[in-house]
A and B are shown apart, each in its own frame.
Chain A
Amino acid sequence: MKKDGRFTGEGRKVGHGKITDEQIAAVKRATGYEPDIPDHARATSKSKPAVQAPTN
């Protein structure tokens, strides 16, 4: 039944992944504050904005 055969009760860690801007926005809207998410955990880096494609 379980992929790794471990049963830990009410839920378990099943992996990890980046947090998207949409998810950050949802948390901010729900809680009223910007979540303190480190840059490496963000799908879009705060310090390195996505490079825009040339328009011509």
Chain B
Amino acid sequence: MNTHQFLSVFTIVDGRPEEIEGYQDHQCAVLGSPVLEWWEHVALKGGLSAECIASVMEYTRGCAFQELNNYLRYGTITPGGKSRKELELFKTRMVAAIEKAPAIPDGVVLWRGIGNAVGRQIALLDIEDDYADEAVLSTSISFDTGRDYAEEWQTLPSDGIHYTILRFVTSEQQKGIYYPREDESEIILRPETLWRVTNKHLVEGQRGHTKVYYHLITMVSTGEYS
């Protein structure tokens, strides 16, 4: 995928040319303090149990996050994997860790690309609608990372390729664990966090002869859980 091609289309729509990268740097600076706060004061200095810290580490490595989230979304137990009881404990510890996290400053943008199974349904959300996911929610302050996780969906082949990308805007003392491993700049949010749709943008691009559409759904924290 030609990153610059899509970034340029994206920035035209938002009327913020050249700001995507710069804005991300700004967000990293804003979030720098909470990260240290969580790891140094909450995680390492006794505010959180070793089991909870281990759960966060496990979630961010390997396939444990998929196992947990498949269970939370579909009730699926992975053969040879964790039992239902272990998965419930995993969730409990993740929630405890997130609840101990410092609030993310208001007005930080978190991106999340949606898989093709529900991309179209979520693109149909409207302003005022509330959205929640039963799973532990992985987001990123990087637009590129969010977009890379989005999977394409189609209505008709002649209609081009569609992607749905959520743009979460933090508010209401939203809590989350900033886990900037590798280049993902991940922020982990609590399951069932309730978001309210405030904006929808359809961004049009071109890949070869194929039209590409990004459905950007902007949502803001409500401070509640579903």
Contact = CB atoms under 8 A, between A and B. Distances in A.
B107 interface: yes
A19 B171 contact: no
Given A11-B118, A23-B198, A31-B218, A16 B128 contact: yes
B187 interface: no
A46 interface: no
A31 B117 contact: no
A3 B134 CA distance: 11
Contacts of B16: 31-32
B128 A11 contact: no
B211 interface: no
Contact of A19 (B106, B170, B198): B198
Interface in A1-49: 1-3, 7-19, 22-24, 26-27, 29-33, 35-38, 41
Interface string B120-149: 011001011111111100000000000000
Interface in B8-62: 14-16, 19
A16 B127 CA distance: 9
Nearest to A40: B128
A1 B14 contact: no
Interface stretch (B93-101, B108-116, B154-162, B177-185): B108-116
Interface residues of A, number: 31
Nearest to B124: A13
Nearest to A26: B171
For B16, B73, B194, B221, the residue with the greatest tally of chain A CB atoms inside 10 Å of its CB is: B73
A36 B199 contact: yes
B73 A7 contact: yes
A31 B213 CA distance: 20
A29 B107 contact: yes
B75 A19 contact: no
A14 B226 contact: yes
A33 to B, nearest CB: 7
A13 B128 CA distance: 10
10 contacts: A9-B118, A12-B131, A13-B129, A14-B130, A23-B196, A27-B218, A31-B16, A31-B169, A35-B199, A41-B128
Interface of B: 14-16, 19, 72-75, 106-109, 114-115, 117-118, 121-122, 125, 127-135, 167, 169-172, 194, 196, 198-199, 218, 220-222, 226
